[in-house]
Structure formats: structure tokens, C-alpha cells
Structure 1
């Protein structure tokens, strides 16, 4: 008869998110993970397949609970241009409340993991592309509604907005203040046109 799992997988996965997020992929050992998750090393391997496979699950969970949730909520509740403004405003607020300066797990992974692991790099790129696609959809819809300056290139602006987001999240890790983060965002928002 198979043994039942003696731990809550969702809670363990949340603990793994926190562990990787605070330490980074390379600096996190299997021992660190098992301790933070409250499970044994064998359970970690049996359930999650090891550190690398667990990290893939962690990235997916983080994307679902952070960026995907935010995008879905903002697209449902805001006009397109305002959804972009709200997205960036929420990131600023989250950054300022992050007393540990952990930043964004996806951005951290783009810097720390992606250059050394092509498969994980493709996964991180895919999550970042979801954010860029959100920006592009919003700009295209705002263009169609006549809410952006004439000739606004949705693709180019979406790439620019992603770059602004990445830069802002890196600056936030250094403890940048509100004034700095808002100054980074302001010129990008100006490209969208003034709010009515």
C-alpha cells in the first residue's frame, strides 16, 4: 500500500517560492529548500523531482499568483491605457513595501539563472513575454479607441514598457525610493498620452 503524503504540497511550494526568491537559485541548496518547506530531502525529490524541477514549478506558481493575476484583474477592471498605468503603479507600491528588497522573482531569474541555463532561460523569457503581450494588447486597444498619440507603435512601446519594468525592478532591489521609481516610469507613460 502506497504511503500518503504527510505534508501539504501547496504550502510546501509556497515555502519554496519564498526560499528561491530570497536567496536566488544558485545560492539555494536542496537542504535549504527541504528545511523551509518542512519536508525531507527524499520527499522533495519524490514529489517535485529535485531542485531544478522544483524551480520550474516555483516560477509557474509565482507567475500565476503575481503577474497573471494582476494582468487578468487589471484587464477586467480598467480601460486599456489605465490598465498599464495601474500595473506599473502596483509594481511601484509592491517595490516600496518590499523591506527585504527581494524584487521580482522573474526579473531576478532573468539576471541570475537565464544566462546559465537555456531551458530555464526560455521559461523565464516566456513569462516576461506574457507581460509584454499584455502591454501590447493594451496599447493596441488604446490605439483603436483613439486614446494614444497618432502613430503609436504598439509593439515597440510594449517592448519599451517591459524594459522600463525590468529596470524599475532592478533599481528597487537597491532600495530605490518612490521618487526614483516614478521618474523611471513617467517618460514611458507620457508615450501613452495624457490621461483624460
Structure 2
């Protein structure tokens, strides 16, 4: 008779995501996972397949949540300028409260795993394209509704805002001074004037 799982798979996935986010893929051993998750090796392998599969599921969950936050802001905030400000304010608030200075899981993974890992490169490239599209479409909405001048190029500005957002997440790991981060955001938003 098969054994019944004595743990909540979603809760374990969340804990794994936090550990990978804080330590990175390579610095997280199976023993770290077993200790942090409170499950034995057999359960980890039976449920998730192994470290790489667990990482991939945790990473997918993080990307899904992040994308949903962006979509929610962009879907509910009619003013593009206000929506972008809200997004950047949220990122700055997260940086101020991030005691461990974990930064952004996607950005961390990009810098850790891209060299030499083609599978994760594809995942990250697809994620980048999807997030860039969210920015571009949101800016196009602002152009279409007259909030942003029609002479502005939604694609180039969207790519710039994606780079600003990613860069802010990296810089906040080193210096989470909200005044400096807000200056960056104000300079970025001035492109919409």
C-alpha cells in the first residue's frame, strides 16, 4: 500500500522557492532542502523528482506570481503613468523590507544560471519576452487613449521600463536607499512627458 504524503506540496514548494531565491540554485544542496523543507530525501525525490525539478517548479511559481502582479496593476490602473509608478513604488517598498537582500528571483537566476544552461536560458528568454510585452502593451494603451503623446514609441519605451525595473531590482540588493531608487524612477517616468 502506497504511503500517504504527510506534507502540503504547495507549502513545500513555497519553502523551496524561498530557499532557492535566497541561496541560489548551486549554493542549495539536497541536504539544505531536506533540512529547510522538513521532508526526507525519498519524499523530495518521489514528489518532485530531484533538485533541478523542484527548482524549476519553484521558479515557475515565482514567475507566475510576478507576472500576475504586473497584469493586475496594468489591468486595474487606467492611468499608465500611475500604474507604472505603482509598480515601481511596490518594487522599492519590497527592497526596503528585504532584510536578506534577496532581490528578484528571476534576475538572480539570470545571472547565476544563464552561462551554460540552455534549458533555463529558454525559460528566462520567454519570461523576458512576456514581461516586455506587458510593458509595451500597457504603454500602447496609454498612447491609444491619449495619455501619452502619439509621437512616443511604445516598444522602445516598454523595453526601457523593463530594463529599469530589472536594474532597480539588482541595484536594490546593494543599496535600497528609496530616495535614490525614486530618482531613477522619476527619470524613467519623465520619458512619458
* TM-score, structure 2 normalization: 0.93
* 1:89-143 CA distance string (max 9 Å, x none): 1111111111111101011111111223111121122223222111111100001
**What SS does the corresponding residue of 1:74 show, helix, strand or coil?**
helix
The answer as to whether partners of 1:132 and 1:159 remain within 8 angstroms in 2 is: yes
2:143 aligned with 1:181: no
Correspondence for 2:15 = 15
Name stretches of at least 5 consecutive residues in structure 1 with no aligned partner.
Answer: none
Correspondence for 2:73 = 74
The answer as to whether partners of 1:140 and 1:154 remain within 8 angstroms in 2 is: yes
* 1:141-175 CA distance string (max 9 Å, x none): 00101111332111111111111111111111113
The answer as to whether partners of 1:135 and 1:158 remain within 8 angstroms in 2 is: yes
Correspondence for 1:39 = 39
* TM-score, structure 1 normalization: 0.92
Cα separation, 1, equivalents of 2:79 and 2:140: 9
2:126 aligned with 1:129: no
Range moving further from structure 2, 120-129 or 16-25: 120-129
Correspondence for 1:113 = 113
The answer as to whether partners of 1:80 and 1:139 remain within 8 angstroms in 2 is: no
**What SS does the corresponding residue of 1:138 show, helix, strand or coil?**
helix
Number of residues of Structure 1 aligned to a counterpart in Structure 2: 192
2:13 aligned with 1:5: no
The answer as to whether partners of 1:110 and 1:124 remain within 8 angstroms in 2 is: yes
Cα separation, 2, equivalents of 1:17 and 1:50: 14
Alpha-carbon deviation of 1:80? 4.8
- What aligned pairs does 1:90-169 form with structure 2 within 5 A after superposition? 90-169=90-169
Cα separation, 2, equivalents of 1:141 and 1:40: 50
- Structure with the bigger RCO (C-alpha within 8 Å, sep 6+) is 2
**What SS does the corresponding residue of 1:75 show, helix, strand or coil?**
helix
Alpha-carbon deviation of 1:192? 1.9
Quick one: structure 1 residues 191 and 36, their matched pair in 2 at CA, closer, same or farther if it must change by over 3 Å?
same
